[in-house]
């Protein structure tokens, strides 16, 4: 694309932020850092997934690491000044890992960290040549130098000069070049091939249970606590089948509450009867709203018209939890998302695989695993892929994929590849005792485990026609997003990735959270990942006001440049940029809860403000627009979390997973929050906010925001009209 257009995009990006900085003063919020209690460890770990690593990843990027040195001199204590003949040896940092070395085509980016304004020149010397390094920015008292050298080098070292002082830095630091111990390097041979369709594309992440209820007949009749915690369900589905006959189970007595869905348009803070009586400490994590695959099919046009190019579905696999990341079967879709009672229809699919889809059969029964036979009631031997069956719910996922393809949308599934439910078929079976690494974490080193996961993913990649098609009639998914894996499984997950890529050449595989995205990419675990350091620094620059959490324009440019240079150019174009997700607080709420590390101190009981943000701060919408503009204008892959485009708000999970705001579901009941968080605002709220000082709550209306939605559409239109620009333009170093 033209230079003028590039400049227009960049000027829009910069000016929209800089012009706003003056408005963003005098707003500070102290948030109490309390722990979040939960009844069952496995529950919160599965619900929250791997947030710990995301937070560590963000924090590690901000920590100043100490360097390696041979000569620990008092010179390092002197205030740094370029060309003063003094180099702070303790501040010199270069590690032989992906944080400081990034393969970029036929070259490798080599980075070095020094104290800011301390070194006059830095040069990297390698076998066959040398290259002067360039400063690419400074941040937090550090300066980053970078140079690209041929990737076929085997060793290198640095020459650091300041006035007449010169040091040679390898694994040691010395003034004698003959004594330097060189760094070693070997080019990675495990890098995956990135599908062209994914470069610079726009994703849309959907939490299935909360997106849309398209079929009331598959509404949940019990949750992960099991049937014995609830009384027998009453009523019928539309076929006339009694709900109690949808599953063979032991129900609790009449003294137990009956399980029920939470109303889509109800006040999120209100509890159903079963929530009032059962396990109150985790009830919000275990409720169902009834979202399903049919609801997504019904809204494919909405997603397409928004300007999105692919959708990311939260785990659709069989599990009793609402999030489905603690899987019972990786090779079956949950009946709550598909069909509890089978329909017997082919859904217009070309089916070559084995199918069990008999009108009236109950899928919850068919999926019951019998440890006596090591088979479920579908007669599947889960170690023998030839015995596997497509259920009606499985076909519904394939139908969604095919219909999405016909509308020009790709489909990616989130997979917690080594995480299972305690009800997983191998969990309590002695014959499968070697399947587990620990607790509910599978051991991918075991070939049987690896084969099961790989074959399950192959099923969804090829679809029921068991064939890869390059046209709109393809019924197999287009990608997988690993949302959790144990570090001990990395090597074996890379093997699964390599094999899955063989089934579909343009398959996208990404990672959600890692302590080292670039290292995982080099190891072939996935094509690229989600880098939350980007949004962390965007918020530091555009939203935060406290000097401890805010950065200026120079620091922001440095951090963005540093993040960019940790990737090869084509990998950054594939990096998923989230500003919100099902594991973080809503980005709109972040506008009124500033001055913290991203995704920290963001639970409702930690003082986090749950109120609709524009009712608390009249500039909240304009703040959000600037953050979204920065997300959308980067040469990467922005991902929209469902409902962010409608101005949805909420603290971290579960309040970030509230039901999608649909106009045809309106009116929505007012929402409430604890009055104690708003003592300084009680007399200045808009009239639509009700303050009840007797019952200690505030109440406010729930509406979507058309202004925010139009802003998203306008930015996505720019990306669509100039797609090649966002696929190929680079952030150039000065």
Summarised one tens digit per residue, pLDDT across range 154-190 is: 999 999 999 999 999 999 999 999 999 999 999 988 8
25 confidence band (pLDDT: 50, 70, 90): very low
Place of tokens 């785990």: 315
Cα 118 from Cα 93, distance rounded (Å): 13
Residue 357 has pLDDT above 80, yes or no: yes
Sheet holding 107-115, edge to edge: 101-104, 107-115, 142-150, 134-139
Who contacts 61 (Cβ-Cβ below 8 Å, separation ≥6)? Answer: 533, 536, 563
| pLDDT computed for residue 34 by the predictor | 32
| pLDDT computed for residue 473 by the predictor | 83
Overall fold of domain 74-94+106-150+153-184: Immunoglobulin-like (2.60.40)
Residue 468 has pLDDT above 90, yes or no: no
Give the distance, in angstroms, between the CA of residue 508 and the centroid of all CA atoms in the same chain. 15
The mean pLDDT of 437-462, rounded to a whole number, is 97
The mean pLDDT of 4-22, rounded to a whole number, is 43
CATH number among 3.40.50.300, 3.40.50.1100, 3.20.20.80, 3.40.50.720, domain 196-214+290-360+377-669+703-717: 3.20.20.80
Residue 365 has pLDDT above 50, yes or no: yes
**Closest by CA position to 522, among listed 111, 187, 100, 191:** 191
| pLDDT computed for residue 515 by the predictor | 66
pLDDT in tens, 553-608: 989 998 998 888 888 888 888 999 999 999 999 999 999 999 999 999 999 999 99
| pLDDT computed for residue 257 by the predictor | 92
| pLDDT computed for residue 42 by the predictor | 32
- Stretch(es) of the chain classified as CATH 3.20.20.80: 196-214+290-360+377-669+703-717
157 pairs with which residues across the strands? 125
279 confidence band (pLDDT: 50, 70, 90): low
Higher pLDDT, 279 or 459: 459
**Closest by CA position to 562, among listed 117, 116, 138:** 138
**Cis peptide upstream of residue 667 (ω within 30 degrees of 0):** yes
61 confidence band (pLDDT: 50, 70, 90): low
- Stretch(es) of the chain classified as CATH 2.60.40.10: 74-94+106-150+153-184
At residue 329, the 3 state secondary structure works out as: strand
Residue 290 has pLDDT above 90, yes or no: yes
Cα 342 from Cα 241, distance rounded (Å): 12
| pLDDT computed for residue 493 by the predictor | 97
The β-bridge relationship of strands 479-484 and 441-442 is: unpaired
Rounded-to-10 torsion of CA 511, 514, 520, 525: -40
Residue 87, both tokens: 């180099």
Residue 732, both tokens: 């150039």
The mean pLDDT of 57-69, rounded to a whole number, is 47
Cα 148 from Cα 271, distance rounded (Å): 58
Among 6-20, 258-272, 634-648, where is mean pLDDT lowest? 6-20
pLDDT in tens, 600-642: 999 999 999 999 999 999 999 999 999 999 999 999 999 999 9
Counting DSSP H helices and E strands in the chain, the numbers are: 21, 29
| pLDDT computed for residue 313 by the predictor | 99
Residue 33 has pLDDT above 80, yes or no: no
Helix (H) / strand (E) element for 690: namely strand 690-692
Prediction pTM value? 0.90
Give the distance, in angstroms, between the CA of residue 718 and the centroid of all CA atoms in the same chain. 24
Q: Are 208 and 293 in contact (CB under 8 A)?
A: yes
The mean pLDDT of 388-400, rounded to a whole number, is 98
The mean pLDDT of 234-239, rounded to a whole number, is 96
Residue 726, both tokens: 């966002």
Helix (H) / strand (E) element for 443: namely none
At residue 69, the 3 state secondary structure works out as: coil
């Amino acid at each position: 694309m033209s230079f003028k257009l590039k400049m227009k995009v960049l000027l829009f990006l910069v000016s929209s932020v800089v012009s706003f900085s003056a408005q963003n003063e005098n707003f500070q919020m102290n948030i109490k850092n309390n722990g979040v209690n939960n009844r069952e460890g496995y529950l919160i770990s599965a619900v929250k997934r791997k947030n710990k690593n995301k937070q560590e990843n963000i924090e590690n990027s901000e920590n100043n690491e100490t360097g390696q040195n041979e000569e620990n001199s008092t010179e390092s204590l002197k205030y740094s000044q370029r060309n003063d003949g003094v180099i702070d040896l303790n501040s010199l940092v270069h590690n032989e890992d992906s944080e400081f070395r990034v393969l970029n085509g036929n070259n490798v980016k080599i980075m070095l960290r020094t104290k800011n304004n301390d070194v006059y020149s830095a040069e990297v010397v390698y076998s066959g040549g040398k290259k002067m390094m360039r400063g690419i920015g400074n941040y937090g008292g550090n300066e980053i130098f970078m140079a690209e050298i041929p990737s076929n080098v085997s060793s290198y070292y640095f020459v650091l000069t300041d006035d007449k002082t010169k040091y040679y830095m390898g694994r040691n630091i010395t003034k004698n070049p003959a004594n330097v111990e060189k760094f070693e390097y070997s080019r990675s041979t495990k890098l995956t091939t990135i599908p062209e369709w994914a470069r610079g594309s726009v994703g849309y992440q959907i939490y299935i249970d909360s997106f849309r209820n398209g079929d009331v007949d598959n509404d949940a009749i019990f949750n992960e606590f099991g049937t014995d915690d609830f009384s027998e369900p009453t009523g019928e589905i539309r076929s006339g089948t009694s709900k109690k006959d949808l599953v063979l189970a032991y129900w609790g007595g009449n003294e137990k509450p009956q399980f029920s869905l939470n109303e889509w348009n109800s006040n999120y803070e209100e509890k159903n009867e079963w929530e009032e009586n059962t396990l109150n400490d985790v009830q919000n994590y275990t409720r169902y709203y009834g979202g399903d695959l049919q609801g997504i099919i019904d809204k494919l046009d909405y997603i397409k018209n928004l300007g999105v190019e692919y959708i990311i579905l939260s785990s659709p696999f069989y599990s009793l939890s609402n999030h489905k990341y603690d899987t019972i079967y990786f090779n079956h879709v949950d009946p709550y998302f598909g069909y509890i009672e089978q329909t017997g229809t082919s859904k217009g699919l070309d089916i070559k695989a084995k199918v069990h889809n008999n009108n009236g059969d109950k899928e919850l029964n068919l999926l019951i695993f019998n440890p006596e036979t090591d088979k479920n009631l579908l007669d599947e031997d889960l170690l023998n892929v030839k015995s596997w069956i497509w259920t009606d719910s499985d076909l519904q996922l394939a139908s969604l994929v095919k219909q999405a393809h016909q509308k020009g949308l790709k489909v990616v599934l989130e997979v917690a590849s080594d995480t299972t439910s305690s009800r997983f078929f191998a969990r309590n079976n002695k014959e499968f005792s070697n399947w587990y690494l620990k607790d509910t974490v599978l051991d991918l080193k075991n070939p049987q485990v690896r084969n099961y996961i790989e074959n399950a993913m192959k099923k969804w990649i090829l679809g029921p026609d068991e064939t890869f098609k390059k046209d709109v009639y393809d019924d197999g998914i287009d990608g997988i997003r690993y949302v959790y894996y144990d570090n001990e499984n990395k090597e074996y997950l890379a093997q699964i990735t390599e094999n899955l890529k063989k089934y579909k050449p343009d398959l996208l595989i990404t990672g959600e959270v890692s302590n080292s995205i670039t290292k995982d990419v080099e190891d072939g675990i996935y094509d690229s990942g989600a880098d939350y350091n980007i949004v962390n620094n965007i918020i530091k620059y555009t939203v935060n006001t406290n000097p401890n959490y805010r950065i200026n324009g120079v620091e922001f440019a440095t951090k963005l440049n540093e993040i960019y240079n940790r990737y090869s150019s084509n990998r950054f174009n594939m990096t998923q940029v989230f500003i919100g997700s099902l594991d973080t607080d809503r980005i709109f709420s972040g506008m009124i809860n500033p001055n913290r590390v991203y995704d920290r101190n963001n639970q409702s009981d930690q003082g986090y403000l749950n109120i609709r943000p524009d009712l608390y701060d009249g500039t909240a919408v304009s703040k959000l627009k600037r953050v979204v503009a920065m997300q959308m204008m980067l040469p990467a892959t922005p991902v929209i979390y469902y409902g962010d485009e409608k101005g949805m708000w909420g603290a971290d999970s579960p309040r970030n997973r509230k039901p999608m705001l649909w106009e045809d579901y309106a009116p929505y009941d007012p929402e409430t929050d604890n009055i104690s968080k708003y003592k300084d605002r009680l007399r200045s709220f808009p009239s639509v906010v009700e303050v009840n000082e007797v019952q200690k709550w505030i109440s406010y209306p729930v509406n979507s925001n058309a202004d925010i939605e139009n802003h998203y559409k306008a930015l996505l239109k720019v990306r669509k009209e100039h797609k090649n620009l966002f696929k190929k333009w680079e952030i150039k170093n000065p």
